[in-house]
Chain A
Amino acid sequence: MTPDDVTVALLAGGAVDDLDTEILGRLAALVEAADPVPEGLVDSIGLALTMEALHAELAELHLVGEPALAVRTDETSIEAGTITFTTDVLTVMISVHHENDLVRVDGWAAPAGVLAVELHQSGRFTTTTSDEDGRFAFVDLHRGAARLVLRRPSDPTMPVVTPQIEL
């Protein structure tokens, strides 16, 4: 064994100490900076898991009108302004307003009636209930990819899910 080998062998048997922790901490920051996790990956995983959880019960809505509003180039996400989605059982119109860094979503579902409405974003979700006219609103949302899940009292196990929209 060379002196270097002996040094390494001795160091290898020692317990991880504060200097090791500092070294690994610095290395973590450097690795993160050299090859950062792409922005939006965690969000899209969260949404994919939500969809997976609902999979058997999914009724996808379709975008109608204005394909010009449509699709972000990097993924199947829609830049929102005013958008209408429709399925056999439900039509939903939403409009999106930006207030500084926050976002407000106003929606209206037809046929009119009280629905449970969830807004899924980054693996979290907010729940509200529409009024008897089918109107609902979400306020103080953050920007980013989101999706609505609507449950009708007549068929609560079959939620209606919108495509991903970009708030």
Chain B
Amino acid sequence: MSDDLVEPVDTALRGQGEGLADQAARAVLAYRDGDPAPLAALVQVMTPLLWHTVRAQGAGTEQAQDIVQNVWLALVREIETIRDPRATLQWTLVTAKRAAWRAVRRSREEAARTDSDEAATEWLTAPADELPDARAVRDERDRVLWDNVRSLPERCRRLLGLVAMVDRPDYAVVSQALGMPVGSIGPTRGRCLAKLRAALAADPSWSVS
């Protein structure tokens, strides 16, 4: 495991309490000591975040499942060489994002070569843009929120969709793993969340709902 992309994590996390980054660090240490249970628990809580990270890059559902599983396998294979266990969360996110990016690029090249209209347009569908079904939209506030999120620039949509998957201590790690500048979110709101707040404040259906 390379340490080149992990340097700012410690500072970003210090003093922000327990989060996924801490849980991941403990799971790696326990696994090395012969106890796989904390890693199994980590797989449960962290797989949704990895899933949406991969999907946000445009990977298809089959492709995304393989990528997420391979990220976990890669982590276990390299677990003895991890120098800073506290960088585990960021490492897995960056690994997932890069693997998805490579897979999507291959699919696009493949689609361009075969000139299949269906395959060529499939990746254009950003999964996060599809409307959840009626059950998921619990009330008017959910609907207004979703509409306003969809109006944000794509980078902000991706960032907020993924940051939403974690608790406050992990905001900075998630945004850095996505390649967003330091301070994109947490401890202050950052511009994406600020844009969303401004849009909601200006939306009459949000204030009455």
Contacts and interface: CB of A to CB of B under 8 A. Distances in A.
Interface in A42-94: 42, 44-46, 48-50, 52-53
Contacts of A29: 136, 138, 142
Interface in B193-209: 193-198, 200-201
A101 interface: no
B51 A41 contact: yes
Interface string B127-138: 110111101111
Contacts of A20: 189, 193, 197
B73 A31 contact: no
B149 A27 contact: yes
Contact of B188 (A14, A33, A37): A14
Interface residues of B, number: 57
Main secondary structure of the interface of A (DSSP, over half): helix
B25 interface: no
A123 B142 contact: no
A12 B132 contact: no
Interface of B: 36-37, 39-41, 43-44, 47-48, 51-52, 55, 61, 65, 68-69, 72-73, 76-77, 127-128, 130-133, 135-138, 141-142, 145-146, 149, 160-161, 163-165, 168, 171, 185-191, 193-198, 200-201
